[in-house]
Amino acid sequence: MLPIERSDVTGFRRIDTSAGRQENGPPMDNTLAGKTALVTGGSRGIGRAIARGLYGAGARVIICGREAKTLIAAAKEIGEIICVPADVRREKDVKRLFKVVDRLDILVNNAGGMEHFGTFEETSLEAWRSTFDLNLFSVVSVTRAALPLLRKSRGCIVNIASDVGRRPFSMGPDYCAAKAALVNLTRYLAAELAPIRVNAVCPGPVVTGPWGAASIRKAAARTLAKRTGTPEEVAAAVMLAVRNGYLNGAVCGVDGGAVRTP
């Protein structure tokens, strides 16, 4: 499938470059003008909020996701971005993605998620493999493909992990383990890939789908804030990791104080 670009959809907010703002949105700060950013899983939830933040700072933004419908919806909401249908678990999709990505300064590995809530005994080996494919191996695949471009730009990588990667909760053993592996991979890559900066942001409970009221209350109860977070609060931490050139190998918890450990 070809990339879905601005000309393929309607309803974009145009940018008034002379005024430095979108016609129907907040002022653009342009601190990332001239930079190109790729956000995997960027069509909804946290990924969409991150893409919106990068776009608002003046970056050229590319997002990918598995569903063309949600990609188009994200593009209509955010602005003049490039959308590529891609499942980053598939090597052929990753190769196709990097035929579109011609330069890269910022990589946000956001694609991931929970596929079940089973206990250890209930979680099959097939489920373990699927969870690691989605939450860890996809990051490995995309990062490997991105390295030649990131080396040219001396860019940065932000991996979206989870609070359960820092301290496991009852969120499925495979998911907790995969996110813990992603945290450790971040710390490792920060040393090996320097001067490319590599940091991780670990969201706590953020409601991005059809959560029930009981689930929201339970998730909020494990935080000091006694509430769930927002995608925009996670995106703000990603923007800090992108902008701060002295931040490297860091693992930033955006979890309302749920974990409180390094």
Positions annotated as catalytic residues are: 175
Give me 26's structure tokens. Answer: 């907040």
Q: How many CB atoms lie within 10 A of CB 62?
A: 24
Q: Contact at 8 Å (CB) between 229 and 204? A: yes
Report how far residue 48's alpha carbon sits from residue 41's, in angstroms, rounded to the nearest whole number: 8
> Which of 194, 195, 175 shows the shortest CA–CA distance to 183?
175
Can you give the C-alpha Rg of the chain in angstroms? 18
Give me 232's structure tokens. Answer: 């925009």
- Close Cβ partners of 191 (under 8 Å, ≥ 6 residues apart): 249
Q: How many CB atoms lie within 10 A of CB 107?
A: 27
